[in-house]
């Protein structure tokens, strides 16, 4: 892919850059690799205070589109609509509704995109808000929905043997579940994370129940035993 321009990895934090290098090195054990392609949109990170991961992720997304709104304003709007009590958000429909309230027409609910579709959305400049089960290190895991958390996907890394060095992606390449990685922010860290697309897809697809620690007295959850308004779905911000 010689026509691609270089990507400046120095814009990545040391932690994110280390993750990129380790991922490429790990995959190099199975095939000859010497680089990757990147597309990353700039996000101003925000840390959550309490169970506000969805509100914080939405705030970061709206800020990227040029919409100035405070997290507390989003929470108050969610409470007024009966979507939330503490800042929790267990519905992609509610997430899209809130996004369109503050930036009309910017949000659309979608089935979880394939790796190719996901990458095309990011390459076009869109952001993707997606729920997944989050472990203590913020990685995607499968816990049946008990640790449901929101991620704002703002970039992709495409690992392929055709790359020499780090390149800026400007067109759709041959994306697969195995060679596609997602950059994203979530409210528990100010650092941009690097996520395996396939693990995010699988984690999102098994969001079935809120779990025993999520009481209906404390959270707004339509059906704690069926998280169908999170499962296999995302919100596209354009």
The residue-averaged pLDDT of 187-197 equals 96
Mean pLDDT confidence for 171-181: 87
pLDDT the model gives residue 2: 47
For the domain spanning 9-237, the CATH number is: 3.90.70.10
Q: Give the pLDDT confidence of 193-230 residue by residue, as tens digits.
A: 999 999 999 999 999 999 888 877 789 998 888 999 99
Closest to 198 in 3D by CA, of 124, 128, 112, 126:
112
> Where are any strands of DSSP class E within the chain?
34-40, 107-111, 127-134, 140-141, 148-159, 164-168, 180-185, 193-196, 233-237
* In the predicted structure, residue 22 carries a pLDDT above the cut 80: yes
Mean pLDDT of the chain: 92
pLDDT at res. 82: 96
- pLDDT in the model for residue 164: 82
Using the CB atoms, write b or e for 4-30: b if 16+ within 10 Å: beebeeeebeeebeebbeebbeebeee
Q: How far apart are CA 149 and CA 83, in angstroms?
A: 16
Average pLDDT over residues 39-67: 96
Banded model confidence at residue 11, pLDDT cuts 50, 70, 90: confident
Query: What does each C-alpha distance from 42 to 60, 92, 216 come to in angstroms?
Result: 10, 23, 36
Integer Cα distance of 196 and 176 in angstroms: 11
pLDDT band (50, 70, 90) for residue 172: low
Query: Does position 182 have pLDDT exceeding 60, yes or no?
Result: yes
Give percent above pLDDT 70 in the chain: 96
- The whole-angstrom separation of Cα 142 and Cα 73 is 32
Is the predicted pLDDT of residue 66 greater than 80, yes or no? Answer: yes
Encode pLDDT of 136-171 as tens digits: 999 999 999 999 999 999 999 999 887 888 999 877
Residues 144, 16: Cα–Cα separation, whole Å: 27
Note the pLDDT of residue 3: 54
Give the model's confidence band at 26: pLDDT under 50 very low, under 70 low, under 90 confident, else very high. Answer: confident
- pLDDT range class, residue 126, cuts 50, 70, 90: very high
What are residue 130's phi and psi, to 5 degrees?
-140, 140
C-alpha atoms less than 13 angstroms from C-alpha of 209 in its C-beta half-sphere: 6
């Amino acid at each position: 892919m010689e026509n691609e321009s270089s990507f400046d990895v120095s814009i990545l934090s040391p932690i994110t850059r280390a993750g990129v290098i380790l991922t490429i090195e790990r995959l190099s054990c199975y095939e000859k690799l010497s680089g990757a392609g990147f597309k990353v949109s700039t996000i101003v990170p925000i840390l959550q205070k309490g169970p506000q991961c969805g509100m914080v992720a939405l705030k970061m997304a709206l800020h990227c589109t040029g919409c100035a709104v405070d997290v507390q304003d989003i929470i108050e709007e969610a409470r007024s609509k009966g979507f939330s009590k503490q800042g929790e958000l267990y519905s992609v429909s509610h997430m899209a509704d809130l996004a369109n309230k503050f930036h009309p027409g910017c949000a659309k609910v979608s089935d979880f995109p394939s790796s190719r579709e996901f990458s095309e959305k990011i390459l076009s400049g869109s952001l993707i808000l997606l729920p997944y089960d989050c472990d203590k290190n913020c990685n995607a895991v499968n816990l049946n929905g008990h640790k449901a958390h929101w991620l704002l996907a703002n970039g992709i890394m495409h690992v392929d043997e055709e790359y020499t060095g780090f390149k800026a992606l400007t067109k759709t390449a041959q994306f697969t579940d195995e060679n596609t990685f997602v950059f994203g922010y979530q409210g528990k860290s100010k650092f941009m994370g690097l996520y395996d697309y396939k693990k995010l897809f699988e984690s999102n697809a098994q969001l079935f129940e809120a779990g025993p620690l999520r009481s209906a007295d404390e959270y707004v959850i339509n059906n704690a035993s069926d998280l169908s308004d999170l499962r296999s779905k995302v919100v596209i911000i354009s």
